[in-house]
Amino acid sequence: MRIPQPRAGLALGPLAAPFLDPATDTGRSNSDGVTKADPIRITGTCQAGDLVKVYDLDTYLGASGSCNGGTFAINVAGAPEGLRVIGVTATRNGLETARSPGAFVLIDRTAPAAPTLLLPPLPDSSRITVSGTAEADADVTVLAGTQAFCGARAAANGQWSCTGDLNGQNTLTATATDVAGNTSVPSAPAQIDLSPLAKPSLDPATDIGRSNSDGITNANPIRITGTCRVGDVVKAYDADAFLNASTACSGGSFSFELAGLGEGQYTIGVSATRAGLETARSVGVPVLIDRTPPAAPTLLLPRAFDGPAFAVSGTAEADADVVGLAGAQPFCSARAAANGQWNCSGELAGQAELSASATDAAGNASESSAPVQVVWDRVFGNGFDG
Ligand SMILES: [Ca+2]
Ligand SMILES: [Ca+2]
Ligand SMILES: [Ca+2]
Ligand SMILES: [Ca+2]
């Protein structure tokens, strides 16, 4: 009697281990089995007529497909996150094989938290190194504005850093992308501070004339000072016009000389260039440069003299400080009014040669007026000879 032999085509051995289709193996690698895809696509080899079912260990994943030309390709939707061990069975002639060896598929559809992003405190160049923390092993991508800036892979402790060029952008953001390709929301923006510097000052030592704080001066050069941040390059402007003067911030302050400025009214503001980016200009400090002396004042003697004070008057440049001189000695002083009128009185020690000079607010002194000889006689009355 012949013993029946199994027919080769009906063997019920398990199928070979299946594969995760590279097209659904998302993220850093399309062959690492780490994916966020849904559905995932499982492929493998089979025998004609097989009905192939997909399992996660013992759990049927609700997905099956027929063998087509010795292969199958089955979409599995809704596979839960986590490590799946994907095996397949073939059902032939009503009998289901044992499960194939499994393929490991790590399903991760959870985005990392947004990374943190720190700027260097005092960048002095447009090329800067940024750093922060992110999910371990995530790929961090930093944008400057909308342009790629730099990228890094977070270490096991989450630390990352990378270096890029700002290319004129001052706002950086970072995202983290995990191995499966899930990308975080962007970090809070980190900005290079481009707010203007504080209004600068005219150094009192070069604020010549009536006041060392009125901004009216005849100095050349003048000196401008102010505060800044270490790393800044400070530039001086008159309104919109660059004054061709710049200096490095030193210890939080700057000071530079502006030589050869022509006479006139200036509004001197400053900008800071940091990380290759220039701030808007500060509020400007007004400076009036006046190097023109007033004309010599006129000097009129009194019509009568009843002593002891001797009163003189005249006209001078409006607002000028007039000094009455007896010889070389001041004996009185006055400020010329807006219409130029001035008068003052002082005691004279007898015969004198009187003159006057005027000094403007910027400190420019006029020539002296033509001297007038005064002689009077205290014994014989209050008259005088001019
Ligand atoms: Ca992958
Ligand atoms: Ca994840
Ligand atoms: Ca002054
Ligand atoms: Ca003047």
Ligand 4 center from residue 367 Cα (angstroms): 13
pLDDT at 5: 46
Q: Confidence class of residue 2 from pLDDT cuts 50, 70 and 90? A: low
Residue 298 is assigned to a structural domain of this protein: no
Residue 355 is assigned to a structural domain of this protein: yes
Give me the percent of the chain exceeding a pLDDT of 70: 94
Q: Confidence class of residue 30 from pLDDT cuts 50, 70 and 90? A: very high
Residue 3 is assigned to a structural domain of this protein: no
Ligand 4 center from residue 218 Cα (angstroms): 8
Ligand 4 center from residue 106 Cα (angstroms): 84
In this structure, which residues have their CB less than 5 angstroms from ion ligand 3? 207, 209, 211, 214, 216-217
Tell me how long the chain is.
386
5-9, 327-331, 364-368: range with highest mean pLDDT: 364-368
Q: Burial-class residue 172 by CB neighbours within 10 Å (0-12, 13-18, 19+).
A: buried
Q: Could you tell me if 281 and 227 lie in one domain?
A: yes
By the 8 A CB rule, do 222 and 214 touch?
no
Q: Is the pLDDT of residue 7 over 80?
A: no
Ligand 3 center from residue 202 Cα (angstroms): 9
Q: Could you tell me if 341 and 316 lie in one domain?
A: yes
User: Which residue in the block uniquely carries the two structure tokens 């730099």?
Assistant: 150
Ligand 4 center from residue 163 Cα (angstroms): 56
Ligand 1 center from residue 183 Cα (angstroms): 14
By the 8 A CB rule, do 201 and 92 touch?
no
Residue 335 is assigned to a structural domain of this protein: yes
All residues at 6 or more sequence positions from 217 whose CB lies less than 8 Å from its CB, including other chains: 202, 206, 207, 208, 209, 287, 288, 289, 290, 362, 363
Last residue of a domain, one of 261, 289, 317: 289
By the 8 A CB rule, do 277 and 166 touch?
yes
- Residue 170 is part of a domain; what is its CATH number? 2.60.40.10
Ligand 4 center from residue 364 Cα (angstroms): 6
Q: Confidence class of residue 380 from pLDDT cuts 50, 70 and 90? A: very low
Q: Is the pLDDT of residue 379 over 70?
A: no
Q: What residues form DSSP beta bridges with 143?
A: 148, 173
Q: Which one of the ligands is nearest to 209 CA? A: 3
Ligand 1 center from residue 84 Cα (angstroms): 14
pLDDT at 376: 63
pLDDT at 11: 58
By the 8 A CB rule, do 220 and 193 touch?
no
For 59-81, the pLDDT digits (tens) are 999 999 999 999 999 999 999 99
Ligand 4 center from residue 284 Cα (angstroms): 22
Q: What is the tally of structural domains in the chain?
A: 4
> What mean pLDDT comes out for the span 198-210?
98
For the question of whether the overall pTM of this predicted structure is more than 0.85, the answer is no
Residue 349 is assigned to a structural domain of this protein: yes
Q: Angle at the Cα of 345 (from 343 to 350), degrees rounded to 5?
A: 135
Ligand 3 center from residue 210 Cα (angstroms): 6
For 135-164, the pLDDT digits (tens) are 999 999 999 999 999 999 999 999 999 999
Ligand 4 center from residue 293 Cα (angstroms): 5
For 314-334, the pLDDT digits (tens) are 999 999 999 999 999 999 999
Residue 296 is assigned to a structural domain of this protein: no
> What mean pLDDT comes out for the span 197-221?
97
By the 8 A CB rule, do 273 and 235 touch?
yes
Ligand 1 center from residue 42 Cα (angstroms): 14
Ligand 4 center from residue 91 Cα (angstroms): 108
Q: Which one of the ligands is nearest to 110 CA? A: 2
Ligand 1 center from residue 30 Cα (angstroms): 4
Residue 13 is assigned to a structural domain of this protein: no
Q: Could you tell me if 276 and 318 lie in one domain?
A: no
By the 8 A CB rule, do 364 and 291 touch?
yes
Q: What is the mean pLDDT of the chain?
A: 92
Q: Could you tell me if 140 and 215 lie in one domain?
A: no
Ligand 4 center from residue 291 Cα (angstroms): 6
All residues at 6 or more sequence positions from 79 whose CB lies less than 8 Å from its CB, including other chains: 38, 39, 40, 56, 61, 105, 107
Q: Is the pLDDT of residue 383 over 80?
A: no
By the 8 A CB rule, do 190 and 172 touch?
yes
For 98-137, the pLDDT digits (tens) are 999 999 999 999 999 999 999 988 777 889 999 999 999 9
> What mean pLDDT comes out for the span 266-283?
94
Last residue of a domain, one of 191, 210, 227: 191
User: Which residue in the block uniquely carries the two structure tokens 């032939």?
Assistant: 92
Q: Report residue 212 as tokens.
A: 């060392």
Q: How far is CA 160 from the centre of its chain?
A: 23
Domain that holds residue 235: 201-289
Q: Is the pLDDT of residue 4 over 60?
A: no
Long-range residue pairs from 264-269, CB within 8 A, at least 24 positions apart, any chain: 264/288, 264/289, 265/289, 266/238, 267/238, 267/239, 268/200, 268/202, 268/224, 268/236, 268/237, 268/238, 268/243, 269/199, 269/200, 269/236, 269/237, 269/238, 269/239
pLDDT at 303: 77
Q: Could you tell me if 184 and 211 lie in one domain?
A: no
Ligand 4 center from residue 211 Cα (angstroms): 14
Residue 385 is assigned to a structural domain of this protein: no
Going by C-alpha positions, the residue among 171, 137, 150, 157 that lies closest to residue 275 is 171
Ligand 1 center from residue 43 Cα (angstroms): 16
Q: Which one of the ligands is nearest to 364 CA? A: 4
Q: How far is CA 188 from the centre of its chain?
A: 16
For 179-197, the pLDDT digits (tens) are 999 999 999 999 998 999 9
Last residue of a domain, one of 46, 76, 107: 107
Ligand 3 center from residue 290 Cα (angstroms): 10
> What mean pLDDT comes out for the span 22-31?
98
